[in-house]
Amino acid sequence: MLGYRSIFTVDVDGDPVPAVLAQVQTWLQGKQYAPQALTANGDVAQVGDRAEAVITTETDADGSSSALFTLREDSDPRGAWITQIIAHTPAGAGQRPWVWIDVEQEGVDDVWAARPRVARELLAKLPGDDHGAPLTPCPTLLGADEVDGLIDVLTSRERRGPVFVAGSSETLPINRWADYVEGLLRETVGLSAGYVLDGKATERFAEAVGARHAVRPGTLRTYLPGLDPSSNLDALRHRFLTTETILESPPGRIRKLLGLRARDLALKTSVPRWAGRVESRLLAATDARVLDWRPTALVGQDKKVTLSSEHVVSTTETLPEAKRAKANEAQRTPDPTQETTRPHSARATPTTPDGLAQLARELFATDLSEELLRSLATERGHWVIREAEFAQLSASHQRAVGRAQALNDRLLRLEDELAESRRESEDAQLEWADAQQTASELERTVLTLRRRLMEAGQQESAWADPDDPSGLEITPESFAELLVRFDEFTHVRFTGDETPCEVLDQKMPVGAAAKAWSALVALEHYARGKKSGEVVGGVQQYLTHPPEGYATFSANRHAANESEDVRKNPKFSSPRILPVPTGVDSNGRVFMGSHFKIARLAMVSPRLHYHDATAVDGCVYVGYIGPHLPTQATN
């Protein structure tokens, strides 16, 4: 499965294709491979232990030039890694050269391909950009007078990758902050551009795009292509990491989160047609050369050699009777005490007439005629040629089989992705319909309350703006932020693995983290009410009949327990046995069948599993937030 894709234009004088190939050779040397084994438009070359590569170059009559480099590394038992690099220089004036880098692993789903070193090295040698967004290894530091150029980059709909922008203030040490941001963006190199705004640039940017689209000091925001400052709804697309998330999360976690975010957009964005046409042409030329190999012509004409009596002279006919009997016996029963082989250097080569004559005497005590010996030697030479050609043909066949299998795997993945997209579309429509229904109900409630306030003579209160959110009312922008803010809860604890939760930032649309947060706030209020005595019964009863002033969550999206099929099948129940403190259960783990259905989205459909221990220590323990755990339906 494809794990990394970067397509960028380069700004250089002349044809950058040779420079790209030269940098590829340097990269191979750094991997302790042998780039000297590679020949442009040659056969597949063995460049290292279980590593082979091939280069195809092409120069068209119109003056354009192209190159395709493919490296296959078969040392990982889970599946071979394939790196493909294409460089192309168009012929037309005004058209810029471009580079395309793909990294994939065969037969593995959900591949994490770390930032390829070759991508960083190429961008260090050849300045690249994504429709004006510079893909430099380090973020660009901007002042106030450069903000307009940044806005042009952010509003571009042609851009393929995200742009990460970090805000600052006059009190924030800008150089140290820029160095820290550079570390956080390490896994986005080649996929996105990064900027660090100084204090005045941060203020100027906020004035230009508005508060909803701005980046606050000490935060890092991800801007997707096509920023629209005039739309408040558009602001929801551009997620940001708060200062608390950045300070309290391990840098490695944020680095991978941002890397996943950049990869997700790069892999979902379709390949430009002009790039796809060049790739198809180069792959076809490579396949025609490497896979459709033709055996070389044999020297001379094929002959069938018939062994007739006139070619054979029996050596036993000239021996005395006793010696002849001994010779016959020796032919039937070899002496085990005697050496049956000679050192290789002492034996004549069996492909020469002398060697064949010696071999015939040893095996059959027979002399062959000179004519037959020459014929056999010629035939033997033909078979040596055939053997070498068969080995080469077999290798080409294996490569063809591997290529066909890879294409078949890709086709199956595309079919799965298409079916998944259809399910996601259907589920998104249901989620939208549910959101519309909720919004309509809330709007009716607001109108009813306003009418009653006006009837009570409180017109000013009826139309007053709501207070700004504070504390738990402020919803997180991402699941990464949600994890960091768990310490804001008094009665809700997270005990599970954070990885499945972090994955949701790549798989779920905007707003999913806020819905999960609402479920957590409902559990916090539930536990608080249990402690005060205002709440009786379990979570399901609380959600169905919440006390006045308590936060709640849709009871229809809550399950008090799993189905009997899940509870009784170890394959499905085991993933739901999750950690709790030993004070809650001596085993340190309990079955968490109670869960919230955060959203419906095909095979992801995130769930929040918890254990109600309010009767033990007053807390609720959340053991899992992530994609839907396996059931009979999802197995």
State residue 380's pLDDT score: 67
Residue 634 reports pLDDT greater than 90: no
- The model's confidence at residue 442, banded by pLDDT at 50, 70 and 90, is confident
d(CA 497, CA 481): 15
State residue 468's pLDDT score: 65
Q: Quickly tell me which residue has 């397509």 as its tokens.
A: 7
Where is pLDDT greater, at 570 or 107?
570
Residue 56 reports pLDDT greater than 50: yes
Please write the tens of the pLDDT for every residue from 149-195: 999 999 998 899 999 999 999 999 999 999 999 999 999 999 999 99
Please write the tens of the pLDDT for every residue from 589-626: 999 999 999 887 766 889 999 999 999 999 999 999 99
Provide the β-strand partners of residue 102. Answer: 5, 84
Residue 315 reports pLDDT greater than 60: no
The kind and range of the H/E element at 377 are helix 370-455
Contact between 625 and 496 under an 8 Å Cβ cutoff? The reply is yes
State residue 267's pLDDT score: 86
**Residues 6+ away with beta carbon under 8 Å from 263:** 3, 4, 5, 113, 191
Contact between 168 and 218 under an 8 Å Cβ cutoff? The reply is yes
> DSSP for 83-149?
EEEEEEE-SSTTPPPEEEEEEEETT-SS---PPPHHHHHHHHHS-EEETTEE--SSPEEE-GGGHHH
| Phi, psi values for residue 494, rounded to 5° | -105, 125
- The model's confidence at residue 40, banded by pLDDT at 50, 70 and 90, is very high
Q: Name the packing angle between helices 499-507 and 251-268 (round to 10°).
A: 30
Average pLDDT over residues 25-49: 93
- The model's confidence at residue 510, banded by pLDDT at 50, 70 and 90, is confident
Contact between 560 and 538 under an 8 Å Cβ cutoff? The reply is yes
State residue 464's pLDDT score: 81
Helical ranges in 456-511 per DSSP H: 459-462, 479-484, 499-507
d(CA 34, CA 135): 29
State residue 360's pLDDT score: 62
Contact between 270 and 279 under an 8 Å Cβ cutoff? The reply is no
CA 105 distance to own-chain centroid: 8
d(CA 170, CA 275): 44
State residue 339's pLDDT score: 42
Q: Which amino acid is at 347?
A: R
- The model's confidence at residue 417, banded by pLDDT at 50, 70 and 90, is low
State residue 35's pLDDT score: 93
- Give the whole-number percent of the chain exceeding pLDDT 90: 46
The per-residue pLDDT of the chain, averaged, comes to: 83
Residue 6: count other Cβ atoms within 10 Å of its Cβ.
27
State residue 264's pLDDT score: 86
d(CA 131, CA 156): 8
- Conformation bin of residue 41: beta by default, left when phi > 0, alpha when psi is -120 to 50: left
Residue 528 reports pLDDT greater than 50: yes
Hey, what are 512's tokens? 């999913």
> DSSP for 574-633?
GGGEEE--TTT-TTSEEE---EEE----TTT--EEEEEEETTTTSEEEEEEEESPPP-TT
**Residues 6+ away with beta carbon under 8 Å from 267:** 2, 5
Please write the tens of the pLDDT for every residue from 532-571: 999 999 999 999 898 888 998 988 889 999 988 889 889 9
State residue 320's pLDDT score: 44
Contact between 601 and 421 under an 8 Å Cβ cutoff? The reply is no
CA 546 distance to own-chain centroid: 44
d(CA 510, CA 527): 28
- Which range has highest mean pLDDT (146-160, 389-403, 445-459)? 146-160
State residue 632's pLDDT score: 64
Please write the tens of the pLDDT for every residue from 318-362: 334 444 444 444 444 444 444 444 444 344 455 555 665 666 666
d(CA 79, CA 107): 6
